[in-house]
Amino acid sequence: MKHGVYAVYGAGGCGRGVMPLAREQLRREGIPVDRLVFVDDEHHAASINGHRVLRYANFLAIDADEHRVALALAHGAIRARIAERCLSDGLFPWEVIAPNVFMMDDVELGEGAILSPFVTLTSNIRIGRHFHANLYSYVEHDCVIGDFVTFAPGVKCNGNVVIEDHAYIGAGAVIRQGRPGRPLVIGRGAVVGMGAVVTRDVPPGVTVVGNPARPLVKERAC
């Protein structure tokens, strides 16, 4: 009899933080945890923290009813590339959500989300594919978040904010509330630095740091 198999893709720090959540989620669903592995082509250990580490090709070769994968990779563009590869090979995205995540009214959460402990999503929120929200992050009302967006721990995203695809929001960053009909926008591929306080729109591809957040200016070498 075939069964589904499950993987946390990535055995680095992000993946090792997600694996215990994935394991407990399977236990709650009555699925044997020996069907859960790491997938990582860069790690050479046979196992990490009690779970086998397989190369992608070896996981794909397992004879199973379905293969489900949670992409535990913090970089949004890399996550997008791996998601496309998995889709083309017939693997299914897998959502891993901590049991103490709190979601209120009318929250649309895209496939492949990973929500760590103590994450809160309030009301009337739209979130795209493969969203990562790390420990103690929150998203307030009337926000729209694109695909492959990453929140590091402790991100405070207040209401009426739009975050476009592939943006990365650093640990402890605060995003000021926008206005109905005039949301604060963080552009595609933008990076908000750790502890930054964002008070105005961030253009696509720009890195901002500080309080208030301003574009990062790199010093020229002498």
What residues are labeled active site?
Answer: 141
Backbone φ and ψ for 68, nearest 5 degrees, come out as -120, 140
User: What SS3 state is found at 22?
Assistant: helix
Q: Is the dihedral of CA 96, 148, 210, 185 positive or negative?
A: negative
- The pairing of strands 174-175 and 156-157 is parallel
- Which residues pair with residue 156 across a beta bridge? 138, 174
> How far is residue 120's CA from residue 139's CA, in Å, rounded to a whole number?
6
Element (H, E) at 133: strand 132-133
- DSSP label at 16? H
